[in-house]
């Protein structure tokens, strides 16, 4: 972190005047950074604020004021904790496409690459991310769950699918399932590979975009575009109506069953 607090020393503010405190965040590794911005205010005429010196009040003000020798309040402190979470550069990635026919169910493997996850000799700065769909591997989740040698089990990941609107979220929320089934780290490059199992069971034709967001508990956010496509369903049945003659009605009956109430 770098802040310009020191250059603001001695700044005078009129009543109800606003003051902006610029804070610049330039992370070089994918980890969480923490800082504290402290604002110390004193009266312009050099006088102190009087207050009643009681044990209860003194305890409450201990961390937010500076007390002068005569017992008055010399300065007031505002303390703002700031957490910096670096986000991988946004690139024009090809979306990972999950395609399924409406009223069917499909499972796909989505593989994403995370760079610069664990700071150290083998870690690399965040530079490039990629995502792709593997449709050849069998969808056996239990056999695929593993952590390869050299990967620290203390590094955990949080992930979710984010949608462009609440309407799209309400449509896809119950139709898409996602589970992290494998993770491995390349000891030479420091790149971590996460493999997700995506289940898509659409009930009607649609085409919606989503973003796979991955966050490491040690800090860092990666985003990968995804596209869910549901094609037209198969025809339910063919109804044949045989004519009984010219200018005469022919009637055929069939049943419709609702999937919901």
**pLDDT at site 73:** 83
Number of C-beta neighbours around residue 112 at 10 A: 21
Residues 6+ apart with CB under 8 A from 109: 133, 134, 135, 137, 139, 181, 195, 196, 197, 198
Q: How confident is the model at residue 62 (pLDDT cuts 50, 70, 90)?
A: low
Domains in the chain: ranges and CATH: 1-30+33-84 (no CATH), 87-119+155-234 (2.60.40.2310)
Q: pLDDT band at 219, cuts 50/70/90? A: confident
What the block records as the tokens of 130 is 């990629």
Is 239 in contact with 254 (CB distance < 8 Å)? Answer: yes
What is the phi/psi pair of residue 55, to 5°?
-60, -40
- Quick: pLDDT tens for 6-30: 445 678 888 889 888 888 999 888 8
pLDDT of residue 59: 63
3-state secondary structure of 69: coil
Q: In the numeric block, which tokens belong to residue 203?
A: 């009930």
């Amino acid at each position: 972190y770098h802040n310009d607090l020191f250059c603001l020393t001695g700044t005078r503010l009129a009543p109800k005047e606003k003051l902006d405190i610029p804070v610049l965040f330039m992370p070089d590794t994918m980890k969480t950074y923490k800082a504290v911005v402290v604002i110390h205010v004193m009266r312009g005429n050099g006088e102190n604020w009087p207050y009643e010196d009681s044990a209860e009040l003194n305890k409450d003000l201990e961390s937010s004021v500076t007390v002068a020798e005569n017992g008055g309040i010399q300065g007031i402190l505002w303390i703002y904790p700031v957490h910096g979470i670096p986000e991988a550069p946004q690139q024009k990635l090809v979306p990972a496409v999950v395609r399924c026919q409406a009223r069917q169910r499909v499972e796909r493997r989505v593989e994403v690459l995370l760079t610069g996850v664990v700071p150290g000799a083998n870690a690399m700065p965040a530079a490039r991310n990629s995502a792709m769909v593997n449709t050849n591997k069998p969808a056996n989740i239990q056999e695929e769950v593993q952590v390869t040698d050299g990967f620290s089990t203390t590094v955990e990941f949080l992930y979710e699918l984010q949608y462009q609107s609440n309407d799209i979220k309400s449509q896809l929320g119950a139709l898409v399932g996602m589970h992290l089934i494998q993770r491995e780290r390349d000891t030479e490059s420091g790149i971590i590979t996460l493999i997700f199992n995506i289940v898509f069971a659409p009930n009607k034709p649609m085409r919606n975009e989503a973003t796979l967001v991955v966050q490491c508990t040690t800090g860092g956010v990666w985003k990968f575009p995804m596209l869910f496509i549901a094609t037209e369903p198969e025809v339910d049945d063919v109804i044949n109506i045989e004519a009984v003659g010219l200018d005469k009605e022919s009637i055929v009956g069939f049943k419709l069953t609702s999937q919901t109430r």
